[in-house]
A and B are shown apart, each in its own frame.
Chain A
Amino acid sequence: MNRFAYAAAASLEDAARKLAEGGTLKAGGVDLLGRIKRGTLAPSLLVDVDRLEPLTGFRDDDDRSWLLGANVRLADLADAGLYEGARRELAGLREAAAGAATPQVRNRATLAGNLLQSGRCWYLHDAEVACAGKGGEGCPALEGRNEQHAILGWTDCPVTMGSNLAPMLCALDAVLGLRLPGDQVGLKRLREVYPGPAKGDAFRLHALPDGAIVESVRIPRTGASTAHVEVRHKRSYDWALTIASVALRLEGGRIAAPSCWLGSVAPRPWHAKAAEEAVAGKEPSRGLFEEAAAAIVCRPLSEGAYKVDMTRHALVEALLLACDRAREAGR
């Protein structure tokens, strides 16, 4: 662990200024501390925004959306009490948050930190192993231990996006509220935030500009029902082997506006478009969902074949659960 200076930001403006001077943003510090301890990041100055009032809170912003502060804790997101009036529509988000890590970590970890966390790969996180994801050459995972690596949407770096929340918030088409360098503000759809690993820096799976601070996450109200299903080895304190997050409506007994996203299987939250097309306008059934899941074409590495079947299973279960909730809403 390197020595670093620490400064608690007095305001968002103060934080932006310190970031421009070369500081590294810290909120919950969960992902950050792991990297510093493993020696893959050596910040000179940590700019702490953990306690900034403008980054907190959850509210019905207007009739059309909910607004969550960037520093809302995963523990809060996992708490049913947060969702008065949004129980069905955000049931999947609650499931996603409740399954993450441990109660202790959830008390620290923030919403924005979860969305912008490092790519997951044990070679990437070993400071003494050279790889293209750290600016070196080649990828030891391709010929090595790759049971947890990407099975979808990768080209040369099979790192995975491990965020529990990102697939659900992509399915809900959430929008990030940003404070950009030069005191600008901006909005960005979460779906457009993840281009895949940055060249030579697979820790970074998002495309936000340097110095940007996420202030909020806005979730549009569409009346959709949601479900989040993940498969883990352990029931708690473990990364998901695979994640399926679904939002949909039932209109006249048929599926409308399905949104299917997968996690921990690709270097980004994976949009399962083929599955969406297969279920749109149809009457829900397990058989239909199994067909839809089979439409996802995967490219597993040598140890990853199991993830294909497991991912399809998670998607089928998430679709079934979301439809159950939509039916309850219709009663």
Chain B
Amino acid sequence: MGGGFGAKLTPGVEATVCAQLSKELGRPVHLFVDRRACALATGNRPASLQLLTAKATADGKLTDFTSKTRGFPGYNGSGGVRGSQGYYVRTRDRGDHRDMRANTGSARAFRAPGCPQGYFASEGLIDEMAYRVGQDPLAFRLANLQNEVHKEQLRVAAEAIGYEQGRNRAPGVAEPGTTRLRGIGMAISSWFQSGQPRNAVLCRIHPDGRVEVRNGAQDIGTGTRTVLALVTAEELGVPVDRIEVVLGHTSDPPGPGSGGSTTTPSLAPTARKAAFLAGRELLRTLREAIGKDAGEPALEGGQVVWPDGRKLAWTEACKHLRQAPVEAQASGWERWRGYANNVHGAQMADLSVDLRTGAIELHKIVAVQDCGTVVDKLTAESQVIGGVIQGIGFAMYEERLTDTNLGRVLNTDFEHYRIPGVLEIPEIVAILPRANNGHNCVGTMGLGEPPTIPTSAAIANAVRNATGVRPLRLPLTPARVHEGLVRMKIGRNA
């Protein structure tokens, strides 16, 4: 099964069919599901219907928040949602959720299951409460949020997007001489994972100085190879180009499943420990080769050094291994106490809405995200930007159009199933401030899912700030935005 972000974490109906065919035939079977079959039967992010209620005092203190939600997970899976309300107000509400079954494709683990839809609704209501008590949505959030990391992230995002100058103080009024309504919206997010317990990493140091790192997990495009290579290089003090990471073989030590944003928090600390142990094996060999009289050798800055001042460069040191590489395997999992158990995010979107057509033009999105230690800045920023782009798709384009009479998905190709293209993607700024919440010896937390959670909520709240009309349904097609503008008589005389 390919693609952790493609709703393929667990075997679905297609895997069952494939296994059955293979059993009948007694031969290996490769099942290729085309786009139409994929849209009809292999699962998706489930739809939801959410009725949320909030209460606040006249001066803007949130006092209660309740939810009644229905999920539509097709024939299997859960359509549950998770929102942000717990970060604003303590409530006894335990939610009233039920799933409504239908003979359609099942709910699957699609990048932060339950969250983009939950945050769209909860952050939408929080936002609306601010307007209803006559407060700026940023000030309202800062006053009600409990968590200092979220507050600081919102301040950083506001600064980066130019919130004070850019926010629309008169929603629904076009910029002079144009039909453009401009607005800025925001949302917070959170994600909980800090790794999975059952994993192990093998580290092997070769006589030619190469270091081999092996684990059975997949790199699903999220930079696992880069992370393991960098952590190993740093621990041993050798250049990263000497590290060779091998992933994806069943015969290698087990890795976590590609879900829950757990690969980096699971494997980075284990890789560091494996490197440390393998390095110790190297030192043991050297101690025997050089002789105990020289004292205890140690690894320092890519060299092996002895108390008597003797030094060996890495490559020279490894030559003492002769024909026999040394190796070590580390396993296990750590949960240290950190500043917080979760990772946090805050995003802001700056956009314009065309009064006449309802078309949205995104100008800029700022994504502030913590993930514990940032091992590689480029990879981490890319992960955040990718999450935002997928969030743009969820906010504005992606929708399975299902005929409710026939139970068929109608848009099963990219002519009608829209995803963002290069022209739909604005400037995206990823900011990754360090928050000390990594629960392990590297300090890493998950980053795969969190950045896609708040994007749709931020965009919808920006549409509210621009137009004065609260979006209640995604995606925000021109037809839906236009309908809201007409209903609320925005920019229209009649």
User: CA A233 – CA B399 in complex, angstroms?
Assistant: 13
Surface stretch bound by B, among A143-151, A187-195, A248-256, A323-331: A143-151
Of B404, B405, B482, B483, which is in contact with the most chain A CB atoms at under 10 Å from its CB?
A: B482
**Size range of the chain B interface in the assembly:** 20 to 34
24 contacts across the A-B interface (CB closer than 8 A): A34-B415, A122-B410, A129-B406, A140-B403, A140-B405, A144-B403, A144-B406, A145-B403, A145-B410, A147-B479, A231-B357, A231-B359, A233-B359, A233-B418, A234-B397, A234-B421, A235-B421, A235-B423, A238-B418, A241-B478, A306-B482, A307-B479, A309-B486, A310-B482
Q: Does A261 contact B (CB under 8 A)?
A: no
Known: A38-B413, A231-B478, A310-B356. 6 other contacts (CB 8 A): A145-B402, A234-B424, A235-B421, A237-B414, A306-B482, A313-B356
Q: Are B358 and A306 in contact (CB under 8 A)?
A: yes
User: CA A236 – CA B479 in complex, angstroms?
Assistant: 18
The 3 closest A-B pairs by CB, nearest first: A235-B423, A122-B410, A306-B479
Interfacial residues, chain A to chain B (CB-CB below 8 A):
34, 38, 122-123, 126, 128-129, 140, 143-145, 147, 231, 233-239, 241, 303, 305-307, 309-310, 313
Q: Does B416 contact A (CB under 8 A)?
A: yes
Q: Nearest CB to that of A314 among chain B residues?
A: B357
Q: Does B67 contact A (CB under 8 A)?
A: no
Contacts of B413 on A, CB cut-off 8 Å?
38
Q: Give residues 398-457 of B contacting A (CB, 8 Å).
A: 401-406, 408, 410-411, 413-416, 418, 420-424
Contacts of B356 on A, CB cut-off 8 Å?
309-310, 313
Task: Output the least CB separation between B32 and chain A (Å).
Answer: 13
Q: Are A122 and B416 in contact (CB under 8 A)?
A: yes
User: CA A122 – CA B410 in complex, angstroms?
Assistant: 6
User: CA A126 – CA B138 in complex, angstroms?
Assistant: 47
Contacts of A237 on B, CB cut-off 8 Å?
414, 421
Task: Output the least CB separation between B405 and chain A (Å).
Answer: 6
Partner of B478, one of A123, A143, A233: A233
Contacts of B357 on A, CB cut-off 8 Å?
231, 310, 313
Q: Are A144 and B486 in contact (CB under 8 A)?
A: no
Partner of B424, one of A143, A145, A235: A235
User: CA A144 – CA B404 in complex, angstroms?
Assistant: 7
Q: Nearest CB to that of B414 among chain A residues?
A: A237
Q: Does B48 contact A (CB under 8 A)?
A: no
Total A-B residue contacts, Cβ distance less than 8 Å: 72
Interface majority SS (helix, strand, loop, mixed), chain A: loop
Q: Nearest CB to that of A127 among chain B residues?
A: B36
User: CA A305 – CA B480 in complex, angstroms?
Assistant: 11
Q: Does B226 contact A (CB under 8 A)?
A: no
Q: Are B477 and A233 in contact (CB under 8 A)?
A: yes
Q: Are B397 and A122 in contact (CB under 8 A)?
A: no
User: CA A181 – CA B43 in complex, angstroms?
Assistant: 50
Q: Are B478 and A122 in contact (CB under 8 A)?
A: no
Q: Are A122 and B421 in contact (CB under 8 A)?
A: no
Contacts of B421 on A, CB cut-off 8 Å?
234-237
Contacts of A310 on B, CB cut-off 8 Å?
356-358, 478, 482
Task: Output the least CB separation between A15 and chain B (Å).
Answer: 28
Contact with A along B334-367 (1 / 0, CB 8 A): 0000000000000000000000111100000000
User: CA A27 – CA B415 in complex, angstroms?
Assistant: 20
Q: Nearest CB to that of A141 among chain B residues?
A: B403
Contact with A along B471-486 (1 / 0, CB 8 A): 0000001110011001
Q: Nearest CB to that of B35 among chain A residues?
A: A37
Q: Nearest CB to that of B483 among chain A residues?
A: A306
Task: Output the least CB separation between A270 and chain B (Å).
Answer: 19
Task: Output the least CB separation between B413 and chain A (Å).
Answer: 8
Q: Nearest CB to that of B403 among chain A residues?
A: A144
Task: Output the least CB separation between B107 and chain A (Å).
Answer: 22
Contacts of B414 on A, CB cut-off 8 Å?
237
Q: Are B405 and A144 in contact (CB under 8 A)?
A: yes
Q: Nearest CB to that of A121 among chain B residues?
A: B410
Task: Output the least CB separation between B335 and chain A (Å).
Answer: 45
User: CA A123 – CA B401 in complex, angstroms?
Assistant: 11
User: CA A326 – CA B203 in complex, angstroms?
Assistant: 74
User: CA A313 – CA B422 in complex, angstroms?
Assistant: 26
User: CA A309 – CA B356 in complex, angstroms?
Assistant: 8
Task: Output the least CB separation between A118 and chain B (Å).
Answer: 12
User: CA A38 – CA B415 in complex, angstroms?
Assistant: 12
User: CA A122 – CA B359 in complex, angstroms?
Assistant: 23
Contacts of A145 on B, CB cut-off 8 Å?
401-403, 410
Q: With A234-B397, A234-B424, A239-B415 in contact, do A129 and B479 touch (Cβ < 8 Å)?
A: no
User: CA A123 – CA B416 in complex, angstroms?
Assistant: 12
Partner of A122, one of B401, B404, B420: B401
Contacts of A34 on B, CB cut-off 8 Å?
415
User: CA A145 – CA B402 in complex, angstroms?
Assistant: 8
User: CA A236 – CA B357 in complex, angstroms?
Assistant: 16
Contacts of A309 on B, CB cut-off 8 Å?
356, 482, 486
Q: Are A122 and B486 in contact (CB under 8 A)?
A: no
Of B358, B403, B486, which is in contact with the most chain A CB atoms at under 10 Å from its CB?
A: B403
Task: Output the least CB separation between A139 and chain B (Å).
Answer: 12
Q: Nearest CB to that of B486 among chain A residues?
A: A309
Contacts of A235 on B, CB cut-off 8 Å?
421, 423-424
Task: Output the least CB separation between A28 and chain B (Å).
Answer: 16
Q: Are A123 and B410 in contact (CB under 8 A)?
A: yes
Q: Are A129 and B424 in contact (CB under 8 A)?
A: no
Task: Output the least CB separation between A122 and chain B (Å).
Answer: 4
User: CA A129 – CA B403 in complex, angstroms?
Assistant: 11
Q: Nearest CB to that of B356 among chain A residues?
A: A313
Task: Output the least CB separation between B311 and chain A (Å).
Answer: 58
Contacts of A238 on B, CB cut-off 8 Å?
418
Contacts of B415 on A, CB cut-off 8 Å?
34, 239
Task: Output the least CB separation between B381 and chain A (Å).
Answer: 25
Q: Nearest CB to that of A123 among chain B residues?
A: B410
Task: Output the least CB separation between A24 and chain B (Å).
Answer: 21
Partner of A126, one of B408, B424, B479: B408
Task: Output the least CB separation between A124 and chain B (Å).
Answer: 11
Task: Output the least CB separation between A145 and chain B (Å).
Answer: 5
User: CA A241 – CA B408 in complex, angstroms?
Assistant: 22
Q: Nearest CB to that of B402 among chain A residues?
A: A145
Contacts of A306 on B, CB cut-off 8 Å?
358, 478-479, 482-483, 486
User: CA A135 – CA B358 in complex, angstroms?
Assistant: 37
Contacts of B477 on A, CB cut-off 8 Å?
233
User: CA A237 – CA B397 in complex, angstroms?
Assistant: 12
User: CA A80 – CA B416 in complex, angstroms?
Assistant: 29
Partner of A234, one of B408, B418, B482: B418
Of A238, A303, A306, which is in contact with the most chain B CB atoms at under 10 Å from its CB?
A: A306
Q: Are A126 and B478 in contact (CB under 8 A)?
A: no
Of A123, A145, A239, which is in contact with the most chain B CB atoms at under 10 Å from its CB?
A: A145
Contacts of B483 on A, CB cut-off 8 Å?
305-306
Task: Output the least CB separation between B60 and chain A (Å).
Answer: 36
User: CA A206 – CA B347 in complex, angstroms?
Assistant: 50
User: CA A278 – CA B459 in complex, angstroms?
Assistant: 41
Q: Nearest CB to that of B404 among chain A residues?
A: A144
User: CA A303 – CA B473 in complex, angstroms?
Assistant: 15
User: CA A236 – CA B358 in complex, angstroms?
Assistant: 17
Task: Output the least CB separation between B110 and chain A (Å).
Answer: 22
User: CA A56 – CA B343 in complex, angstroms?
Assistant: 60
Q: Nearest CB to that of A317 among chain B residues?
A: B356
Q: Nearest CB to that of A37 among chain B residues?
A: B413
